[in-house]
């Protein structure tokens, strides 16, 4: 991704998506591309209008209309782990899922959390920007929030 202006992601000899590294990472068009270029959280839901997807838990996820791109019925909402905000950090963000931390790993620059939610397992990377802050403990109930601009939609697998 650091050496190319344009990338073609192929799956079984067929181009799944072609574009700039930024476009492929931020706006994957298929579950394969979303997973091939890094960790993606894919939550199943149903398209509900031109700019929203309703998750199985009932949560409504705001999505830029261009990302739904005429899809109807069952889809998966995607968000990258580094786009998620834990707890009050995401208070002003429109999209939310709640769950319980089942794993955490301090990896220096960030802490990786694995959160079980009613809509599926979600991975979040929270940057360790403040000195001395302790990671949230396993077993803690948390809310994860993200901006609608960080949301992408792919076909449900």
| Right CATH for 39-155 from 1.10.260.40, 3.30.1390.20, 1.10.10.10, 2.40.50.140 | 2.40.50.140
pLDDT at position 142 is 95
Instruction: Provide the CA 103 distance to its chain's centre, in angstroms.
Output: 18
pLDDT at position 156 is 85
CA distance 28 to 84: 17
Mean pLDDT of the chain: 93
| pLDDT at residue 66 greater than cutoff 80 | yes
pLDDT at position 148 is 95
Question: Which of 56, 58, 25, 37 minimizes the C-alpha distance to 119?
Answer: 56
CA distance 146 to 8: 28
Question: Which of 154, 141, 42, 60 minimizes the C-alpha distance to 98?
Answer: 141
| pLDDT at residue 125 greater than cutoff 80 | yes
pLDDT (tens digit per residue) in 16-59: 999 999 999 999 999 999 999 999 999 999 999 999 999 999 99
For the CA atoms of 30, 127, 143, 59, what is the dihedral angle to 10 degrees? -20
């Amino acid at each position: 991704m650091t050496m190319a202006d344009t990338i073609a992601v192929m799956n079984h000899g067929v181009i799944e998506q072609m574009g700039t590294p930024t476009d492929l990472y931020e706006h994957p068009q298929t579950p394969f591309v979303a997973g091939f270029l890094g960790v993606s959280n894919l939550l199943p839901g149903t398209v509900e209008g031109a700019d929203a997807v309703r998750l199985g838990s009932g949560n409504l996820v705001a999505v830029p209309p261009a990302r739904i791109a005429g899809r109807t019925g069952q889809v998966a909402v995607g968000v990258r782990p580094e786009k998620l905000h834990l707890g009050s950090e995401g208070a002003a963000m429109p999209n939310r899922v709640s769950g319980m931390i089942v794993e955490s790993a301090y990896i220096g620059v960030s802490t990786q959390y694995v959160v079980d939610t009613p809509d599926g397992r979600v991975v979040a990377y929270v940057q360790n920007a403040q000195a001395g802050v302790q990671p949230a403990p396993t077993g803690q109930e948390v809310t994860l929030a993200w901006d609608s601009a960080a949301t992408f939609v792919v076909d449900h697998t």
